[in-house]
Amino acid sequence: MRVLVTGGAGFIGSNLVDVLVRDFEVGVVDDLSTGKAEHVNPKVWFKEMDILDDGFARALGEFGPDAVVHLAAQPSVAASLLDPDRDWEVNAEGTRRVAEAARDAGAVRVYSASSAAVYGEPVELPLPESAQKDPLSPYGRSKLASEELLASELASSAVDFASLRFSNVYGPRQDWRGEGGVVAVFCAALVAGRVPTIFGSGKQTRDFVFVGDVVAAIGAALVSDSRLRDDPDGGPAYNISTGQQTSVEALAKVLRSFSGFAEPYNYGPTREGDIEHSALDPRKARSDFGWDARVSLENGLEQTYRWFLGSE
């Protein structure tokens, strides 16, 4: 199988590519705006390019993928608040262009990254894929639109497709300065000897899923015998998550045990666009393509902290 990964030099993408190259021919398209050249696996076909560039469809056709995993995105809620038009262009229009180019190039599978942000403030936890969608930020709205555009481009074709709704992904190679996941931000501060800041009460919860588990989910989807587009329960969308809630204060406590950091953490105001509690129900992914998150929070956090320690 030939698999093309957009955003393959980024946090999730580079971790995914390093696993895929063991079994498949892999191509990567990344403009290196947030991805890093040193994370491009030397075994891949690589094109430095924005998915919005006029030549993108031609480049994708040049590689000739059987499957496309679309991870390139504008990943920041904060950035979406500052520039919602750019957020929409990259996340919504970018996904439409990737789907169109993949279909025209003869790909038979297209799986695209979505987000827990499509749900908004939950009315039940953990959230199933069929839960109401009421995004609170431009980022959440662009991700929900990207799911709809993926389906509109591919529904009349034979291409299998699905949107993979990631919960709060963390792990090695996450850039604390870019998408700013709380685990990466805390790890970077602790390694540098700075006092981390908890925004809000610290009682807010998230569903933290390790990047290795996300990579395993994408791999399982790629080799699945199921047509993921045909699932009637919540449509062609799958939560990639643990289903467990962890408070930010509990997260900070675990990281403190690895770092030996004894000072109290700082507290700041709640950030715009943040929800209070989040957890996604992963049972549909388990049922349809046999995936479960397997890395414990303690194990994943230790691996992540050790990576930040070694990267300084």
Between these two residues, 231 and 191, which has the higher pLDDT value? 191
pLDDT given at position 178: 62
Is it the case that residue 133 has pLDDT exceeding 70?
yes
Find out whether 7 and 63 touch, Cβ atoms under 8 Å.
no
The domain covering 2-169+209-240 belongs, at the CATH homologous superfamily level, to NAD(P)-binding Rossmann-like Domain (3.40.50.720)
Between these two residues, 231 and 236, which has the higher pLDDT value? 236
Between these two residues, 265 and 274, which has the higher pLDDT value? 265
Q: Give the mean model confidence (pLDDT) for residues 213-235.
A: 92
Residue 281 DSSP SS3: coil
pLDDT for 9-44, tens place per residue? 999 999 999 999 999 999 999 999 999 999 999 999
Is it the case that residue 156 has pLDDT exceeding 60?
yes
pLDDT given at position 261: 87
pLDDT for 203-220, tens place per residue? 999 999 999 999 999 999
Q: What angle do CA 172, 174, 177 make, to 5 degrees?
A: 145
Is it the case that residue 289 has pLDDT exceeding 90?
yes
Is the four-CA dihedral 268, 272, 277, 283 of positive or negative sign? negative
Q: What distance in Å separates the CA atoms of residue 109 and residue 156, rounded to the nearest whole number?
A: 14
Domain borders along the chain are 2-169+209-240, 170-206+244-280+295-311
Rounded alpha-carbon distances, angstroms, from residue 172 to 41, 180, 302: 15, 13, 10
User: Environment class of residue 120 by beta-carbon count within 10 Å: exposed (0-12), middle (13-18) or buried (19+)?
Assistant: buried
Select from 3.90.25.10, 3.20.20.140, 3.40.190.10, 3.90.550.10 the CATH code of 170-206+244-280+295-311: 3.90.25.10
Q: Give the mean model confidence (pLDDT) for residues 155-172.
A: 97
pLDDT for 181-193, tens place per residue? 899 999 999 999 9
Looking at residue 283, its amino acid is R
* Catalytic residue list contains 170: no
Q: What is the rounded average pLDDT for all residues in the chain?
A: 95
Residue 180: which pLDDT band, with cuts at 50, 70 and 90?
A: low
Output the pTM of the full model.
0.96
Is the four-CA dihedral 65, 91, 114, 147 of positive or negative sign? negative
Q: What distance in Å separates the CA atoms of residue 12 and residue 72, rounded to the nearest whole number?
A: 10
Q: Active site residue: 111, 119, 139, 265, which one?
A: 139
Q: Which residue blocks in 64-181 are alpha helix, DSSP H?
A: 77-82, 84-88, 94-104, 138-154
Is it the case that residue 312 has pLDDT exceeding 70?
no
Is it the case that residue 275 has pLDDT exceeding 90?
no
